[in-house]
Amino acid sequence: MREDVAEILFSEKQIQEKVNEIGKQITEEYKDKELVLIGVLKGANVFMSDLMRKIDLPVIIDFMAVSSYGLSTQSSGVVKILKDLDQSIEDKHVLIVEDIIDTGLTLHYLCDNLLSRNPKSLKICTLLDKPERRKVELKVDYKGFNIPDEFIIGYGIDYAEKYRNLPFVASLKREVYEK
């Protein structure tokens, strides 16, 4: 698995420090509010579980699963809901927790969908962002790191369902996804 890593971009320690920082910021900004965290499966699973423990508020968590990529490395722009929320978000302060934003198509779709359920507020938190790749405008409220246009794996993020359990964020060797 590790022989497919091109370069480690963010170590466990760097990620942990960033997650602490974002957690603190969210704790301050949602003080006295009821917050629902929505993790986007499966990629945001690891980030979500670290982040929620750094938020010192009575949060509720829920998950959605959407598919945009299939097994390839290119976003199709077609988003399908594979698992919907368990609970209503009407009148709730909602924060979407995502692993990585690329074209923005997935979150654009998701935001539209969630806004139609009338939350009190809706914001976006992502660990990683590839701003150069954006195809639709998106306001990112909380962000870990900007990254260049490379294929990323680790810390929950996969290529063809593999590498999610790497504890760091890395780029994948081209020969792995171009073969």
Q: Which residues are catalytic?
A: 102
> Where does this chain bind Mg ion (CB under 5 A)?
40, 43, 99
**Quick one: 36 or 126, whose CB is closer to ligand IMP?**
126
Residues in 61-100 that interact with ligand IMP by CB under 6 A: 68-69, 75, 98-100
15 belongs to the binding site for ligand IMP (CB under 6 A): no
Rounded to whole angstroms, how far apart are CA atoms 37 and 34?
10
Shortest gap between Cβ of 12 and Mg ion (angstroms)? Answer: 20
Beta bridge partners of 123: 95
- Among the listed residues 93, 87, 89, the one whose alpha carbon sits nearest the alpha carbon of residue 121: 93
157 belongs to the binding site for ligand IMP (CB under 6 A): yes
**Quick one: 57 or 140, whose CB is closer to ligand IMP?**
140
Rounded to whole angstroms, how far apart are CA atoms 148 and 94?
28
Query: Euclidean distance between the first and final Cα of the chain, in Å?
Result: 16
What are the phi and psi torsion angles at 92 (to 5°)? -110, 150
Rounded to whole angstroms, how far apart are CA atoms 76 and 103?
10
**Quick one: 76 or 88, whose CB is closer to ligand IMP?**
76
What are the residues binding ligand IMP (CB under 6 A)? 43, 68-69, 75, 98-106, 151-152, 157
